[in-house]
A and B are shown apart, each in its own frame.
Chain A
Amino acid sequence: MEEGVDSYRAFRREQADFDALFRAHYPEIVRYLSARLGSREDALDIASEVFVEAWRRVPGLQWRGRPVRAWLYRVAANMAADELKRRGRLQPHPGPRHESQPADAAHDRLALAAALRTLPADHQLVVHLRLVEGLSFAEVARVMNRSVGACQMLMLRAARSLRDALADEGVRDV
């Protein structure tokens, strides 16, 4: 219960101090959007929009047992989806098909990142939170409002989907 009270207090602090909220979470939202959109410039623009929305709406959020960060990711995910729709990128876009070459590791990594963008949004989010931001599965579970086991299963599905997508693309194992 103490953890719940601490979480609640953190929630209230972040609601009350926009600058601190921004400094704490803007970089990770930029990284998340960059991974979703495949463009760092677009990520910077949309991250700003996310925090303009946060400025308007976070003070009025009700405590539902989840951190403000969860709300930020939800808004960012929605804005990313809108942007992808706008660009007509609803269809998977793993990049041009290519024949992978052993020496082309950087190219494979880009193909991997592109393949990651074809995964469902919740798969991308679990990968981002755990592997880019370094959150524990317990923290990931709080942000995603799921159990730890469910997040681990999402991660497994993400990995398998990624492996299948890469196999289709003829990319060698990493």
Chain B
Amino acid sequence: MSDRTLARELGRALDGEAAGDEARSLAALLTAAAEPARFEVGASDVNAALARVSAPRPRLRPHLIRVGLVAAVVAAVAVLAFLPRTPGGDVQARAAQAVDASFFIDVHIRALRPLLFPATEVNGYVDGRTGRTHVRIYSADGTTIAETVINRDGSVERWARRTNTTTLAPTCAALPGGCGETFDPFGVYVRALESGDAGVRTVPGGYELRLRAGRLEQRVLVDGKRYLPRLIVWREGRLPLAQIRITTIERQPPQPQETWAMSPHEDARVLQLLLGRSTYDRGPSLGQIVGLPAH
């Protein structure tokens, strides 16, 4: 009997299933050897240990959502959504082919200037074909602080934990502050594409794609083997503003409709924004909701 077969048989013996003599003998030996470690740790011991460990804990800092957060989130996914339309060049063509699918992404966003916005993590699904997006935004302590859905028609749904409000908007640009002028990735990309102001150069391990709009520039590092983005750095002139590191980007099969739907949020208030008109609900603006400064 091969070792692999015996190993599987040992696994069955440990599960209490029928097995040969050698497997049963080895299982009995292992079970007996593990026996002394099978003891309960009482609830009082756990509580006492937790109190000891907890004592020196620093107080958690509140994590605020500031300018750039919402747009930076969308920036990360917009790279996927808009790369296919990046003009010209073999690299763009291959990148377009690479992103022509649905992906599960996990990105880490941090400001490269002090006090711009707190570090966050974003994960969820993005469809490179249509730009459909469903992402959740987490603070550094792992709390879900927002959830954003971008639909096929460009309409946006955004839930913010801080006020437990879901805002519906016809476009990203309709969200005050959420897609602010300085960070609007869609606008940046569209303008960059319209002007043809995009360049590619070879860098170690892949390529660097540069997209400009006025003083703003995005540098996208594209993996040389997979032709998928790894890192995005926003710059204003020579100064770096923010960095978006894509830690996970996994191609997915076609996703069911519910993948792209906003999660239910209990007792959430719904705010409907209309293009060029006041909102149905005269409650706080989204800027106020997510803590953005007034425009």
Contacts and interface: CB of A to CB of B under 8 A. Distances in A.
Interface stretch (A24-32, A71-79, A83-91): A24-32
B141 interface: yes
Contact of A156 (B7, B28, B41, B106): B7
A121 interface: no
Contacts of A110: 36
Interface of B is mostly: helix
Given A12-B138, A35-B37, A159 B10 contact: yes
Interface residues of A, number: 55
A44 interface: yes
B4 A149 contact: yes
Interface residues of B, number: 48
B275 interface: no
Nearest to B27: A159
A131 B34 contact: yes
A19 B50 contact: yes
Among B10, B37, B45, B253, residue most surrounded by chain A Cβ atoms (within 10 Å): B37
B49 A26 contact: yes
A26 B41 contact: yes
A23 B10 contact: no
A31 B46 CA distance: 13
A116 B7 contact: no
A115 interface: yes
Interface string B123-154: 10000000000000010111110000000000
B34 A159 contact: no
B49 A44 contact: yes
A12 B53 contact: no
Interface of A is mostly: helix
A132 B14 contact: no
Contact of A155 (B10, B46, B123, B252): B10
A142 interface: no
Interface in A1-53: 1, 4, 8, 12-13, 15-16, 18-19, 22-23, 26-27, 30-32, 34-35, 40, 44, 47-48, 51-52
Contacts of B25: 173
A156 B10 contact: yes
B50 to A, nearest CB: 5
Given A55-B57, A59-B141, A113-B33, A26 B10 contact: no
B49 A47 contact: yes
Interface string B80-119: 0000000000000000000000001010100000000000
Contact of B140 (A4, A60, A173): A60
Contacts of A159: 10, 26-27, 29-30
A149 B9 CA distance: 11
Interface string B1-42: 001101110110010000000000111111111111111110
B142 A16 contact: yes
Contact of A152 (B7, B35, B106): B7
B37 A15 contact: no
A98 interface: no
By Cβ-Cβ distance, the 7 closest A-B pairs, closest first, are A16-B142, A27-B41, A15-B142, A159-B26, A131-B34, A35-B37, A152-B7
Interface of A: 1, 4, 8, 12-13, 15-16, 18-19, 22-23, 26-27, 30-32, 34-35, 40, 44, 47-48, 51-52, 55, 59-60, 62-63, 108-110, 112-113, 115-116, 127-128, 130-132, 137, 149, 152-153, 155-156, 158-160, 162-163, 166, 173-174
Interface of B: 3-4, 6-8, 10-11, 14, 25-41, 45-46, 49-50, 52-54, 56-57, 104, 106, 108, 123, 138, 140-144, 247-248, 252-253
28 contacts: A1-B252, A4-B104, A12-B144, A16-B143, A18-B54, A22-B46, A22-B49, A27-B40, A31-B39, A35-B37, A48-B53, A51-B53, A52-B53, A59-B140, A62-B108, A63-B106, A109-B35, A115-B33, A131-B14, A132-B38, A137-B11, A153-B4, A155-B7, A156-B7, A159-B10, A159-B26, A163-B29, A173-B29
